[in-house]
Amino acid sequence: MIIAIDGPEASGKGTVAKLIAKKYKLRHLDSGLLYRLTGVNLLDQGITDDTTDTFVTAAISAANQITAEDLDNPPNNIRSMGVGINASKVAVIPDVRDILTAIQQNIATKKPGAVIDGRDIGTVVFPNADFKFWITASLEHRAKRRFLDYQASGRKDTLEEVTQAIKDRDYRDRNRAASPMKKADDAHLIDTSKMSIDAVIEALSTYINAKLANRVGKGQSQ
């Protein structure tokens, strides 16, 4: 079983994906982590200028070096704003996307299946996923959440800086030529702006259970 959960930064999709995976006893795969691992590799080498050929070559090489085990032991700064920005820069490179898409398909198709969160799971990585969700929230709510996360981890970024960084990343993710971030036509949309996490999980579960019951019903009547 494959459950695709896409959406923009700080929409809550990562938390939701983790909890839904636990509930349905599936693997959880955070596809953003693959892009972040590629981005942090370049940052460690001091490569941040995405207008150069060096950036593209280094990004392809970094993506090729990622193993499934790296996902379990990411470096401490993996969630930082700088790594997120570099991740969205490597994410525009088609060869990087192809390499990371293959890794995702390989991991997620192993039994018992997976809940994968990202930007292009329902459109490109698993267009035939059993369930597709688009999780979103207003820019204001997303920025506030990310700001509180950063504050809790002792970071000093202002709300304005966090809001601007989210806007920039949204722009890059939505407007890139290769697999831009977008809702799959058949994805179920949930706006988490005014919902508690419990309410979001309830909404996804209700949708999944109804579809599963429908499948069982159809199977029995054949």
Site for ligand C5P, rule CB under 6 A: 9, 31-32, 35-36, 84, 87-88, 91, 118-121, 169, 173
- Segment (H or E) for 217: helix 197-221
Q: How far is the CB of 129 from ligand C5P (least distance, A)?
A: 13
Q: How far is the CB of 33 from ligand C5P (least distance, A)?
A: 6
Q: Are 81 and 165 in contact (CB under 8 A)?
A: yes
Q: What minimum distance in Å lies between the beta carbon of 209 and ligand C5P? A: 26
54 versus 105: smaller Cβ distance to ligand C5P: 105
**Strand, coil or helix: what is 75?**
coil
Closer of 73 and 217 to ligand C5P (Cβ): 73
Q: Which residue, 148 or 213, has its beta carbon nearer to ligand C5P?
A: 148
CB of 143 to ligand C5P, least distance (A): 14
Q: Which residues pair with 189 in a beta bridge?
A: 134
- Which residues on adjacent β-strands are paired with residue 4? 116, 132
Contact in structure between 136 and 192 (CB atoms under 8 Å): yes
Cβ atoms of residues 67 and 102 within 8 Å:
no
Q: Considering beta carbons, is residue 85 or 212 the nearer one to ligand C5P?
A: 85
